[in-house]
A and B are shown apart, each in its own frame.
Chain A
Amino acid sequence: MRIRETYLILVLGLIFSTIGSASSHGQVTADTLRAVTTVSDTLRAVTTVSDTLLAVTPGADALRAVTPGADTVHADSANVQTGLAKGEHFTVFGSYASRVLLRFKKSPLFITVLYIVIIYSIITLITLLVIILMHRSRLIHDLKLKEYLLEKYQKSLMDYLFEEEKQDEAISELNRIASNPMNRQVLINQMIDLSVNLKGEIREKVQKLYLRLGLKKHSMRNAYSRKWHNNVKGFRELAFMNIRDANDKIIEALNSNNEILRMEAQIAMVRLADGNHYDFLDLLEKPLSLWEQVTLHELQIQHNLKVPVFKKWFGSDNESVVMFALEMVAWYKQRGAGKEIMKLFEHKSEQVRFTAYRVCGDLGLKMAFPGMVKKYPGESFKNRLEILQSFAKVPQEKYLKFLRSVLDSEEDVQLQIEATKAMENTGEPGISLLIRLMKKKSEYRNYQIIIRHVLDGRIY
């Protein structure tokens, strides 16, 4: 794409070049040259920046070297003298400018810029080529080194953890590794990887080793660093090693603008909590994204953490926290939250109401259905659809009339299908009603096609 635009410059330049050549028809007359030189003088006066440009341009020397008479400071060319007062002294730039004028018949500043860009481009591409080649070699080297170090460190760690007689030797080796700042991070990462798969006493042994090697200092420094990516590392390490010394910093990061840092702070808070793993939700001012919710949920499952009563966050001012709490109530089947969920049908946020309807269906909260019937007409399309899907999850014969009215009144295919599914799920009463509807000929509704779709077991 970029090449296209750079060609544009070429074309513009070409068009411009013809203006010059057309005016002189290939022959620079004395008058024209004088005029051009006057312009050049003006240019020189106006654009003193050109001198600076020239001074910093390595190409200027190169140009001088390949230009006959380049060392002459005085403009002694007959052609040039024709257009200038005799004996007038020029600066180096003047000489350069006149040569450029003679050769290119263009503004010296313009030509200089072209030279600069050419030289810049050549230098850039040579430099980049070297970087590309070096980077490739470094990649291979780093990979090999990492493999070697991991193997070596793993062996020392295993000796320390499982071989009593080799423990002292392992500690001295690990101490040596930890004293090298370059290798320290690799060692910590290795210890974290190891502790993920360990439990109980052995895991505590890793934590003790971490403290003994003085690695806490390294993690604390990272946690309080001004760079967010160091903070992330620090939080992670401290959380894994169960160290609460940087909790103030972690709490501060809960409302950081950086979403990665924020998420790492949330994870650290969950890990470091004494039992109330989700208390940090009260401190959240920023929305908890779906991504963060999923990550927290996975963490909960992975570490089999103590599950709190999530309904306590239904009153949170942070809508996303309410939605997360609803999701967790559904996941952990906290049916005791039924009444509180129903209150959320009146929540100002459409998304919260949506989640509440869904959770009622997931939990099979029959007492919530009259409320949903009431809310149905005033809800958005998305929420109406969700209400109907909940009816399909908890089939109840007494709502057949309501569902039939939905089927009759709604124009949208998805709503019709969901209402029909909910009717079908009630079993015999619903299916016989659907069969009756199929037989009934209506000029407004093609019930047959809708019902056939729903009754087709191959459509999952």
Chain B
Amino acid sequence: MERAIDILMFFVLNAIFIVTALIFTAYLTLTIFSAITLRKYLRKNSYVDYNSIVASPMAPSLSVIAPAYNETEHIIDNIRTLLSLYYNNYEVIVINDGSLDDSLEKIISAYELEKVNYYFDYRLPCERIRGVYKSRNRSFKKLTVIDKRNGGKADSLNAGLNVCRNDLVVSIDADSIMEPDALLKMVKPFMEAKEKRVIGAGGVIRIANSCEISDGHIQKINLPKKFLPRAQVMEYTRAFLMGRMAWSELDGLLLISGALGMFDREIVISAGGYSTKTVGEDMELVVRIRRYMAENNLDYDVVYIPDPLCWTEVPSSIKVLARQRSRWTRGTMETLFTHRVLFFNGKYGKLGLLGYPYWLLFEYLAPIIEFLGILWFIFLVITGRLNWPFFLLLFGFVYFFAVSLSIWAVLFEEITFHKYERRRDVLRLVGTAFLEPLLYHPLVMLMSIKGNIDKLLNRNIWGRMERKGFNKS
């Protein structure tokens, strides 16, 4: 019996070897892919002149849709930023999602708005639209404001889609700050499309905490002073510059961040618009439009642009972060469950064979397995059964590998966009890479578990972001 167990252990060991080797190979491959893609992008981009499309009459028409809920503090500045983007042929649609504060009144007054007789239909489901506003002042002719009953972000985006008329739509959080050339960079893949139709494009989201903002524009980029947002800088850098870039190249991208994404309006409407049944409407939309294209045998592309295009404030308190991560987890669960047909389904190509399984196994299930492992670890410590030398070795193995991946991400940032100009900021980011696996990651894992529990208990809270506000320069 003992011998049988030992032999079994031997095989389990080898299985662990194989799994480990596979995981490491996968990560190193993704890192290499990202490096190649970034290099290719930067080299190509160095020959691109974006000015040629700024005023071109041939450039596609865009609608920027920005839902806002109780954003009274920043809404005026943020709309001003949206109205001053470098692009000619675009409109801005701000949706007041039943705000309880004075956002609407402020916008009406600042932009000289009045209610117009706007005709539209509820092609996509959304809450009742109380009014559509346009400005008397022709300087703000690009601006349309929709006032509607509260229905959440997805509902607001659907309202915007019902009202807008342009070929491409850009969804953005009203509290985010777009880079002035963001539209130029995002529209490029759509304009370059030939055989394959580009249906979605995402850009890198950067963290604006501690940055200096003036008139709705980033004036000085600083690394967040507090550890929690700084750890998120590390997390975002890794996720965007390494993960999403590689997945974009591998055609397995499942998520374009809700903070900034550009989509083909016709496809979004044909696929049914944003789902109001999930709190992860950004991921759900990408999966659904990809599914729609695959089911209709249409060639398509979803692309990612490594340029930092949008700045957003991230939670700086554990309480707010917990709410945000719980929502992300619930969103992932809902999307994966809704589109479970994709799982290892060859009909959907890389989406079914690569993207979906990765998200299921590594993004969704990983924190659960981790959590069970920690419970098991505690049990072993209490009962004195833990093999300490092996545990410490394994811990060192995981820790150093994780840190080295983060340092790769810092390097990618440094050799690509090096947004943090001060050497001190770079060093602090490196320091964060060492602390993050010990202090931040366990926290995020627990928040993800909370998300699972919330979902099981049907606690569908959106999670309000409490903003500290940007530093005014």
Q: Do A and B come from one complex?
A: yes
Measured between beta carbons, the chain B residues less than 8 angstroms from A289 are 191-194
Measured between beta carbons, the chain B residues less than 8 angstroms from A197 are none
B12, B57, B195, B238: the one contacting A16 at CB < 8 Å is: B12
Q: In whole Å, how far is A213's beta carbon from the nearest beta carbon of chain B?
A: 24
Measured between beta carbons, the chain A residues less than 8 angstroms from B369 are 8, 11-12
Proximity bits, B94-117, A CB within 8 Å = 1, else 0: 000000000000000000001011
Residue A104 at the chain B interface, CB threshold 8 Å: yes
Residue A105 at the chain B interface, CB threshold 8 Å: yes
Known contacts A229-B43, A295-B49: does B445 contact A7 (CB below 8 Å)?
A: yes
Determine whether the beta carbon of B441 is less than 8 Å from that of A125. no
Determine whether the beta carbon of B13 is less than 8 Å from that of A16. yes
Measured between beta carbons, the chain B residues less than 8 angstroms from A147 are none
Complex: chain B residue closest to A128, CB-CB: B407
B interface majority secondary structure: helix
Residue A2 at the chain B interface, CB threshold 8 Å: yes
Determine whether the beta carbon of B376 is less than 8 Å from that of A128. no
A6, A21, A460: the one contacting B385 at CB < 8 Å is: A21
Determine whether the beta carbon of A297 is less than 8 Å from that of B56. yes
Q: In whole Å, how far is A299's beta carbon from the nearest beta carbon of chain B?
A: 8
Determine whether the beta carbon of A17 is less than 8 Å from that of B407. no
Known contacts A9-B397, A12-B16: does B2 contact A21 (CB below 8 Å)?
A: no
Q: Which of A109-138 contact B (CB under 8 A)?
A: 109-111, 113-115, 117-118, 120-122, 124-125, 128-129, 131-133, 135-136
A2, A229, A298, A450: the one contacting B405 at CB < 8 Å is: A2
B58, B138, B376, B437: the one contacting A290 at CB < 8 Å is: B58
Interface residue tally on A, bucketed by range: 35 or more
* Bound form: Cα–Cα A21–B235 in Å: 35
Residue A20 at the chain B interface, CB threshold 8 Å: yes
* Bound form: Cα–Cα A7–B441 in Å: 9
Q: Which of B161-216 contact A (CB under 8 A)?
A: 165, 188, 190-195
* Bound form: Cα–Cα A176–B59 in Å: 46
Measured between beta carbons, the chain B residues less than 8 angstroms from A225 are none
Residue B396 at the chain A interface, CB threshold 8 Å: yes
Residue A60 at the chain B interface, CB threshold 8 Å: no
A interface majority secondary structure: helix
Determine whether the beta carbon of B397 is less than 8 Å from that of A117. yes
**Max chain B C-beta neighbours (<10 A), residue from A2, A15, A21, A36:** A2
Proximity bits, A387-398, B CB within 8 Å = 1, else 0: 000000000000
Residue A39 at the chain B interface, CB threshold 8 Å: yes
* Bound form: Cα–Cα A6–B266 in Å: 40
Interface residue tally on B, bucketed by range: 35 or more
Residue A106 at the chain B interface, CB threshold 8 Å: yes
Determine whether the beta carbon of A414 is less than 8 Å from that of B165. yes
Determine whether the beta carbon of B380 is less than 8 Å from that of A9. no
Determine whether the beta carbon of A453 is less than 8 Å from that of B117. yes
A31, A103, A110, A113: the one contacting B2 at CB < 8 Å is: A31
Measured between beta carbons, the chain B residues less than 8 angstroms from A111 are 390, 393
Measured between beta carbons, the chain B residues less than 8 angstroms from A450 are 119
Known contacts A14-B391, A111-B393: does B52 contact A298 (CB below 8 Å)?
A: yes
B57, B372, B437: the one contacting A331 at CB < 8 Å is: B57
* Bound form: Cα–Cα A115–B49 in Å: 49
* Bound form: Cα–Cα A450–B339 in Å: 39
Complex: chain A residue closest to B142, CB-CB: A460
Proximity bits, A1-29, B CB within 8 Å = 1, else 0: 11111111111111111111111011000
Residue B426 at the chain A interface, CB threshold 8 Å: yes
Residue A339 at the chain B interface, CB threshold 8 Å: no
* Bound form: Cα–Cα A36–B405 in Å: 35
- Return 8 A-B CB contacts under 8 Å, by A number: A1-B235, A7-B366, A39-B9, A39-B10, A106-B13, A124-B407, A294-B56, A295-B52
